[in-house]
Structure formats: C-alpha cells, structure tokens
Structure 1
Amino acid sequence: MAPKHAASFKPLDNETKRRRKMLTIQQKVKLLDMIKDGKKIVEVARHYGLNESTVRSIRKDEKNIRAAAAVSFNKEAKRVATSRNKFIMITESALAIWISDSRKNNVTLNSLVIREKARQLYQRFTADDPQPGPSCATFKDFTASKGWFEKFQKRYQLKSVVLHREAASADQSAAEDYVNSFQNILEEGNYLPEQVFNMDETGLFWKRMPSRTFIFKDEAKVHGFKAYKDRVTVVMCGNAEGFLLKPALIYKAKNPRALKNKNKNLLPVHWMHNANGRITKQLTSDWFHKCFIPQVKLYLVEKGLEFNVLLLMDNAEGHAQELTYDGVRIEFLPPNTTSLIQPIDQGVIRTFKALYTRNALQHLVEAMDLEENFLLKDCWRQYTIATCLKNIHVVLKDIKMETVNASWKKLWPEIVHDNTGFTPEDISNSAVVKAVRLARMLGGEGFADMTRNDVDKLLETHLDPLTDEDLVEMAKSASEEEDEQPEAAEDQEEEAGLTLERLSQVTRAIKEVQDMIDEWDPQMMRALRFQNALDGAMEPYKDLLTLMKKQHQQLPVSMLFSCAPRHPLPRPSPSAQVVPLEEQ
C-alpha cells in the first residue's frame, strides 16, 4: 500500500492575495468624468487599475454616486449609502458648512447648539417635501440624538473641533509673538520678499447689488433660486514684493452654461468646482500643485531667483495640512490672528471687492450708453458668471504691486515701500466713491440716491455669517447649473466657437470699422493710432485664420486617405521592395 502523503499546506500570504481596490466617492466622480469626456471603458479601467466590469458597474450607479458627491462633505468616503434618509444627508452637509463658517467667525459652539441647529435645518429641508421617499419610508422623525452626533463627527472628520470654548476674539498677544517668530523664520530660510507668499480665500456674492436698490428688492421677492445669493470663493495669493498670482475661483458647477465651449484651462482664473462653491482640503491641494507651484516657479525663473519659497496660510477648516513640495516651506498662522497680521486680509480682499463692485456698475453704465432701449433689469439679468470672470480680470490689472506690498506692513514692515496713494485704503476708498457716482448715473430706486454707506454695507455682507436660507441654497445639488451634455473634445469646442467662416467674418468687420474711422475722423493721426491698435489686437486671430485656411486647403488630401477602399489590397511579392510612404 502506498504510503500516505501529508496533505500539502500552503500558508496564506496576505502579500500574495489580491487586494480589493476601493475608490473614494471623489475618485469615482473623476472616473465618471473621464467616461463623460469620451474615454473608452478599457482606457479608464487601465488608468485606475480596475476590471472593465467594475468600471461598468460604477457607470451604472452614476446617478447615486453624483448625488452622494453633491451632498457629501467627506469626499474620502468609499461607499454610497443608499439606505440613508436623503434629507439627513443634506442636513449633515449643510451642518458641516455651518460649523466651518461659525469657527471662522469665532462663534461659540457646543454639542447642544449643533444638535439644535441640525433639527432646524432638517425641518427646513423637509418643509416642502416631508416624505423622504419610498426607500426611506421606515425612518422616524430626525431627533439629532447624541448617538447621531457622535457618528456625524466621525463621518465628517470633526474630531478636532473644539466644541466647548469661549467666543474667540482676535488674539493680539499671539499675533505679536508670531511677528517675532516670523523674523526668525525669514533669517533661517534666508528668504527674499519675492520668495514669501500669503494665500487666503474669500466669499464673493458675484451678482449682488446694494440692498436699497430696486434690483435687489425685486430679486428678493422671487421664489426659488435668488441670483444675489449665488456665491463663489476666490482664492488670492501674493508675495511681499507685491506680485499677485492668477487667482483661483471655486464655483458650484463644473460647466455653467455661460462658459460652454470655453477651455477651462485658459480662463482669467484657475477654475475649480465644488457643489457648495467653498474651499475644501482637496481643492486646496489642487490649487497648491496646479496653480501655486507652476506660477511661482515661472515667476522666480524670470526673476533669476532660487526656488526657495515660504507660503503663509491660516488654519481654516478647508486648508489641507499635509501639503509638501521640495523647496517650499508652509507656515500656518496662529488661530485668531488673521484679521491682525495676515497680509492678504489687510485690505487686499476689501480692495478687490470694492473694485469688483465699481466695475459691475461701470458695466451697466457702458451698456446704458450703447443701447437706445436700455433696461437696467434686462442688462443685469445678462450679467453671467462669464461676465464675472471678465470683471475679475480687469480688477487684477487695477490692483497695483504697491497696494499688495503695503498689505505686509504689520507682519514685515521693513520691506514695505513708500506707497503713498496706493495703499489698500486709498484704492478701496477711491473705488467706493466711483461706484456711488456710477450708480447715480444709472438712476432708479436705490441707485439715484446711493451713498458710500450703501456700498460699504454691500462689501461687508461678504463677511456675514451664513443664514439658514444660505445653507439650504448651498447644500442643494449644482445639477441645475450643469450643462448636461458631455463636454466636447478640444477640437470640437474650437469648431463650435471660432470656425473659419466666423474668423473671416470678424476680420471683415474689423476692416470695415477701420475704414469708417479713416473716412469720418478729421484727425488722421488719431485714426492711425486706432487702426494700429486694432491691427495689434487682431494679430493672434489673423494667425489663427491663416492656419485654419491652410488646414482647410489640405482637407481633401486627408479625406482621400480616410476613404481608403475596404476590400483587401493585393499583397506584394516576396521579392518586391517595400518603400516607406515618406520616400515615395
């Protein structure tokens, strides 16, 4: 009888076992965006290291995933909880925003206050639709219990929130101590003013007029979405020398209709999106790596300086703490010192908003001068997010380096130049005065008798704590603003915008304008300056027109190649010599 052999035993090795890969909700949204952009399933699967069947399953669940992403504050979550009451999910999202806003405004919080706020928000969300839906019919009334609160803290990573504390005020002592510490940091790193940057973000109600104007009052009466409550976040960053980086802008929609067919990489701002239009740790990381690092590298190369950078940030809730990059040191300012020593907060933000308000009114006055049948309401209705970006572009040109440099006076007074007439206070006050004058030119209720106090109140509303109505608006999905059609490829976008026919039409129109000025203007030198300026401005479009004409002429040849016969070509004999196409 053959001897019995012991059964072979292969120990389980965790390293050889294939680990199941789980994507976060944010990664799933990016995966879905790739498919929406026209990527093939196999390409997306290879990019994420997944099976094609897994990618198809994610695509099948796209509606639930995007809904969860729209209301979720924790983008690192990996599962979509479809059994939870959707109103509780939205309530928690709005509550997390409120906690973050309260902390930034130094409002006292404790567990009782937060739970009561949660109940109030839940009642607001369910007021119009008290039934959560068939899938949630078994849920009892939301009571915001202690158990729920503990789970809420874990879900939204709020363990570090100081819930029991006195209302914090600006910490003068901590600010003075940090000014001394800052000098040691400068000496230790041997930093120059060009190498020291400060970043801060601010909310901007981009389509709001002073509250006494008839436009504001009429919008307040409208049910549903109110344009004056539409808020974006602007991320600003500048150095001690006075150089301002291209700002980032966070909007609630990825593809607003006003920016259809616009290349998001070629806007006056670094475009980012979030369902709430607010800064998050992930967006901070995106800004740091995709906006801050490239711009600063280019700036320092042009200055002939070493890439040795100090970046100052406050410790706001949405700022990522783990940012790292070779050559960059990041310092977080002490709590409750922003209003005292943070440079961008020392007048630059207010100046930005004052200039933005002035330019918005200037836009209306110019439209009034051009249009015979001008209606202020209609013109303001056509003020879109695209117009907002153009306004921001002009504002950045109006903010001088001297103004940004002056904002470092409290933190680094030694490097501040003589900025008489260009301080943030000077520029802001001048913009407010101009805004009042423009408003009175427009006329109408609230415009004809506008005062500086009206404009000042408008600038201060950007700093007001969020109301329940604001939270309800911000917690809603951004799907209403999204362009539902998939984004076209870059060449398709160009075809939909600047076609050969349209470029030719623009060129002819400019030529006609030049001819009219040449004929009608009695001052030849003035007419020549105007014509030369137009020629210079049209140069990139003329180059593009020339390129497109060449491509159009080559089109029939390429079409011949693309229309090759479908039947198989005869094979060459073994002795035949194969000649490369480019040698024929």
Structure 2
Amino acid sequence: MSGTEKLPMFVIGKSAQPCCFKNVKSLPTTYKANKNAWMTSEIFTERVRKLDSDMTRNQRSIMLIVDNCPAHPKINGLKSVKLVFLPPNSTSVTQPMDQGVIRNLKVHYRKQVITRKIRALDNGTDMCINVLDALRMLHQAWGCVTQATITNCYRRAGFKACEEQVPVPVPLPETDSEEIDDDISLAHLSRLIKGATMEQYVDVDIQVPTCEEENERRRRGNHGGGTAATKSGVCIECV
C-alpha cells in the first residue's frame, strides 16, 4: 500500500527464446512465454510459489490482491504469501493497479517509444523495437512509477491506512524526471501522434486479452453474446 517496494516486472511473450536474447546473460525483467502471450494458471502458480519461497527465505509475510479469474487459481501450501481474491466483476473498482498504476506505467513506456521514433527520424533510420528492447523499456518505465502514484491508487481502490482517509486523483504525468531525454514533454509528443490524442495512444491496447477467459468474453461481446470486459492488458504486482 505504501509503494515503497515493487516486485520486478513479470512479462509474458509469445517466443520462448527470441533471437535478441542470444548471448544475453540476464534479462531486466522476469520473462515467460506461450503461444498467446497470456497469463495461465500454470504460470501464475509457478510465479506465486517462487515468490512464497523467496519471502519464506527472507522471513517475511505478504498479501497479494488478485483478480478472480481462472488464470488465478487458489494455491494450497503457501507459507508466506496470502492470496486475496477480489469479488467477480469488480476489478475496475477494487483492483489498485487498475486505479492508475498500469496506465502510469504505459505513459512512461509509450513516451520512450515515441522518443525512439523521433531519434530515428532525426538520424534518418528506421525504428525497430525487439523483445529485449521492450523489456528494458518496461523495466525503466516501472522504475518511473512513483511511490506516491501507487499509494494514491490503493486509496482510490478503498485500501486505507489508519492515518490515510482521502483519495487523491492520479493524473497523467507531465514530466518524467527519471527518464532519458526528458526535454520532450508529453504535450509535445502527443502532437506527433497523427489522428490520436495522447490518452488514446496510451490506451491503444486496452482491449488486448491477457488470459483465455478475457478473450472468450470479448469474442462473445463482439458477436452480441454479452459485453466484453475492459481490461488493462498489463498485470503488475506490488508489495
């Protein structure tokens, strides 16, 4: 809740061994892969058990707040991690990450993408971002998400410490003091996106499914069988 500690980024891609990983000794984030780049119950269970082992070794106990979906099953035998499942269909209101943390991460990430594009245009070269580049950019973007942003988002989701009672709005960042090439403001970058606002650019992948259930809901929604749920396309963990 305090935002003082963030777990490393956990990224799921489609290729188990992208060419860009060749001769790379360590990755800036944890990386897993499957054909759809989805979170699965197997990946989730492996991730939580690894975290539980780390916390037990460090003599710590934590609680993880997770969505109630098939990709997030109950896990027996945990010693140092307690899973707290949100009520069904309440993620947009009760999940702290959906209150602005994920969107803030995307702003920092997409600003790096546009900055690279500008650099390429200035140099007369083509811009190419491979998986390793994306992991590095995500790692940097996650580092730019501030403690204040995380704390405020927990408040907005209804999580309050005894001395904290009033939620604080979480606006789009106007400056990113920790980021490279920060002389380019978001306002200027947004003018470079033809036919779209910065907000639309940040949310361009908001309907991308991140697990099988979401994909099925969207498929039914697109065919009149129901309303597709709105998700963020990104899963982030905080302690």
Q: Tell me the TM-score normalised to structure 1 length.
A: 0.31
SS at match of 1:408: helix
In structure 2, give the amino acid aligned to 1:268: P
The aligned counterpart of 2:199 is: 456
Contact 1:251 1:277 in 2 (8 A): yes
The aligned counterpart of 2:130 is: 384
Deviations 1:180-206 (A, max 9, x none): xxxxxxxxxxxxxxxxxxxxxxxxxxx
Instruction: Work out whether 1:425 is the aligned partner of 2:168.
Output: no
Contact 2:190 2:198 in 1 (8 A): no
In the alignment, which of 12, 32, 43 is matched to residue 283 of structure 1? 43
In structure 1, give the amino acid aligned to 2:158: L
Instruction: Work out whether 1:247 is the aligned partner of 2:9.
Output: yes
In structure 2, give the amino acid aligned to 1:385: V
- Percent sequence identity over aligned pairs: 21
In structure 2, give the amino acid aligned to 1:353: K
In structure 2, give the amino acid aligned to 1:257: C
CA change 1:245–1:415 in 2 (3 A) is: farther
Displacement of 1:286 after TM fit? 1.6
More helix by share: 1
- Rounded to whole Å, the distance in 2 between the matches of 1:278 and 1:247 is 15
- Rounded to whole Å, the distance in 2 between the matches of 1:312 and 1:289 is 15
Displacement of 1:405 after TM fit? 1.4
Instruction: Work out whether 1:259 is the aligned partner of 2:21.
Output: yes
- Rounded to whole Å, the distance in 1 between the matches of 2:117 and 2:166 is 32
In structure 2, give the amino acid aligned to 1:464: Q
Displacement of 1:387 after TM fit? 1.1
Instruction: Work out whether 1:404 is the aligned partner of 2:150.
Output: yes
The aligned counterpart of 1:355 is: 108
Instruction: Work out whether 1:365 is the aligned partner of 2:118.
Output: yes
Which entry has the higher C-alpha Rg, 1 or 2? 1
Deviations 1:317-347 (A, max 9, x none): 2112224311322121110111111111111
Contact 2:190 2:197 in 1 (8 A): no
Displacement of 1:311 after TM fit? 1.8
In structure 2, give the amino acid aligned to 1:293: D
Contact 1:406 1:416 in 2 (8 A): no
- Rounded to whole Å, the distance in 1 between the matches of 2:172 and 2:106 is 14
Displacement of 1:415 after TM fit? 5.7
Task: After TM superposition, list the pairs within 5 Å mapping 1:143-182 onto structure 2.
Answer: none
SS at match of 2:64: strand
Gaps of 5+ in 1: 1-239, 441-446, 472-584
Instruction: Work out whether 1:324 is the aligned partner of 2:71.
Output: no
* Larger RCO, structure (CA 8 Å, separation 6 or more): 2
The aligned counterpart of 1:437 is: 188
Contact 1:307 1:327 in 2 (8 A): yes
SS at match of 1:461: coil
SS at match of 2:49: helix
Instruction: Work out whether 1:293 is the aligned partner of 2:52.
Output: yes
Displacement of 1:283 after TM fit? 0.4
Contact 2:9 2:138 in 1 (8 A): no
Displacement of 1:425 after TM fit? 2.1
Contact 1:309 1:328 in 2 (8 A): yes
Instruction: Work out whether 1:340 is the aligned partner of 2:93.
Output: yes
Gaps of 5+ in 2: 177-183, 210-214, 216-239
Deviations 1:467-506 (A, max 9, x none): xxxx8xxxxxxxxxxxxxxxxxxxxxxxxxxxxxxxxxxx
In the alignment, which of 16, 26, 31 is matched to residue 271 of structure 1? 31
Task: After TM superposition, list the pairs within 5 Å mapping 1:107-122 onto structure 2.
Answer: none
- Rounded to whole Å, the distance in 2 between the matches of 1:337 and 1:438 is 34
